[in-house]
Structure 1
């Protein structure tokens, strides 16, 4: 464990930390269609317009990840591959590749002396039985703590009924779904001057709004009624849902189609109920005001610290893993300035919630 933990300070667990391991990059190097690696750049739908992400050590190197953790007092990170995960694989290869990637990720974490765990990726391009079989198999992997899934699910969204048996299998296995946005909103919504604004609109609004819509669709579909034990860990404090929950509930109560279908009854679970029962959130909001809103919406027991490393490096560019990242410190600062470093809320958000829910860092 890190020196921070040895000193008796609150345990710090990062539940939103990406790694594109070399074995995953090797898979993409073998491809000629997006997503692929070309000219030492990762090109997927999210980055194609910018000609891809340069494959720097912060993207794939475990030692660089650990150096970042040490520099920022992070004791444990729960890693996940970033988009596009394995969603691009077809049925004939998805199962074998998912098994191999998850096994290798488990082996990578096993060498970290308790510093690293991971969210597995599922063969969503395969048929439902194959996906569920991989969920069951994950129990063999000591360092797996759940699965990562994009907001598009298997293509038609998280509210696709075909996912209900998958959700049941995950709930039975007590694996949370770390829900991460796919590619934001369509480019057309940013208007004709979008190129003047860089990536500010897609990054600051596209991802959280995609997440907000996806989770709201999941709620409206009745999935949590079908699978009441399903647990999500939703990126970026569940988008804007903590702010919009009351508005969504009001819309439900006044929608004529919804009422005609008999769905708007006093006994229905509200959006607030779902946030407090089925949704955990990471605290990647960069300021204490939205963080307080997330904690007020879901409860202090349901918000966890995250960094989104290796994204949002220092504007001057990363020189390695040990320099200070403002994007990380702003999230920790939001917790300690909002609640105080000696508070129960600080300890819960920074590590205790993740330790309890994901069984890490004991």
Structure 2
């Protein structure tokens, strides 16, 4: 009997569920969706998720909320399964009581979105799974957060949760989140860490460069800082089975990890805080493969693969094994963001990331299949 075809699984793909878009349409301050008449006299919806959004926000349409549009996109690009997540800014802008209620409702909505989707042909597996939402806002109670972790863990088509970088207001290294990390670890959920706020926008200057600087640089730098603060907090020592997936291939963290380790070693405040060299913890992470270039993906897999030699007491001296590093990398598209400028084209966020995976030197075909989908099948227990 022939083996089933290898799956293509998209783990970085977003949806603004109807309940969420209704809330955004009701708002008069960012974040919001508003209707405008564009320069060609055509009415269109615009999504504003950042203050001072360039170009008056992003044009949005059914691809942001319609499940058939998601499935059509998947069919056009040969994607078998998507693990979808509510996109930023999640519930960050809401008061605690409203955030708690809406998180529960949106998690149930996402379960229905996934559970009523079609299955992969010839397999007992759905085409859609999801990351749930936590009401991570100031003033939320620990018990409310733990209730939602429990809910997500019990919804069969939700296999993790998406999280921004602010936590409940003081960042993800806030000790108040430790019961939440413990519950997430115990439930076996994957945490998808995704940016929203970028960094200080004054760094971008006055020249109009559209969305390029805040998205290409600000978002990954935000992820880099948040993940580094988590490492410094000792979260991975306290919760060694916690599974954290970083957006955008970990931002700048792989490239700066040795500099980070050196700074820790020379700083009396943190030099003895961690059980291992900082580079060890990169091997505890999962990273999406949304990097658009084979050299970047190869480098990231090198950095992941060398992590074990930085475990305290390790005597490993072997060169990085790029193949081993690939086991913690997973394909993503960032749909529905970054659409092609021509409606007839395939999305470069798909084609360029697949080409990058295909062209990494030192990855076997088995490694490539893993990054395209088999790693996700294992990580999310599909």
Same fold (TM over 0.5): yes
Cα deviations by residue, 1:252-297 (Å, 9 ceiling, x for unpaired): 11124334xx437xxx3223211112x1000000000010011112
Question: Matches of 2:30 and 2:250 in 1, distance apart?
Answer: 28
Cα pair 1:340 1:346 within 8 Å, conserved: no
Task: Give the CA deviation at 1:333.
Answer: 0.4
Question: Matches of 1:139 and 1:220 in 2, distance apart?
Answer: 28
- 2:295 is the alignment partner of 1:289: yes
Question: Matches of 2:65 and 2:108 in 1, distance apart?
Answer: 17
Task: Give the CA deviation at 1:145.
Answer: 0.8
Query: Against the structure 1 CA distance between its residues 46 and 180, is the aligned structure 2 distance closer, same or farther, given a 3 Å change threshold?
Result: farther
- 2:334 is the alignment partner of 1:308: yes
For 1:64, which of 63, 66, 69 is the aligned residue? 69
Mapping 1:1-362, distance limit 5 Å: 8-39=4-35, 40-45=45-50, 48-113=53-118, 114-125=126-137, 126-193=140-207, 195=208, 197-259=209-271, 262-263=272-273, 268-277=275-284, 279-298=285-304, 299-316=325-342, 318=343, 323-339=345-361, 343-360=365-382
Task: Give the CA deviation at 1:213.
Answer: 0.9
Task: Give the CA deviation at 1:149.
Answer: 0.3
Cα pair 1:249 1:270 within 8 Å, conserved: yes
Cα deviations by residue, 1:200-238 (Å, 9 ceiling, x for unpaired): 211111111111111011111111122222110100111
Question: Matches of 1:56 and 1:160 in 2, distance apart?
Answer: 37
Question: Matches of 1:154 and 1:23 in 2, distance apart?
Answer: 23
Cα deviations by residue, 1:134-167 (Å, 9 ceiling, x for unpaired): 1012233111010000122222211111111111
TM-score by length of structure 1 reads 0.90
Cα deviations by residue, 1:2-50 (Å, 9 ceiling, x for unpaired): xxxx994421100000111222101222333322222132222267344
Cα pair 2:234 2:273 within 8 Å, conserved: no
Question: Matches of 1:129 and 1:50 in 2, distance apart?
Answer: 41
Equivalenced residues, count: 343
CA RMSD between the two structures: 1.9
Question: Matches of 2:296 and 2:368 in 1, distance apart?
Answer: 15
Question: Matches of 1:63 and 1:304 in 2, distance apart?
Answer: 24
Query: Against the structure 1 CA distance between its residues 341 and 250, is the aligned structure 2 distance closer, same or farther, given a 3 Å change threshold?
Result: closer
Choose between structure 1 and 2: higher helix proportion: 1
TM-score by length of structure 2 reads 0.85
Cα deviations by residue, 1:328-361 (Å, 9 ceiling, x for unpaired): 111000111115896111011001110001022x
Question: Matches of 1:57 and 1:240 in 2, distance apart?
Answer: 33
In structure 1, list runs of 5 or more residues that go unmatched.
Answer: 1-5
SS at match of 2:241: coil
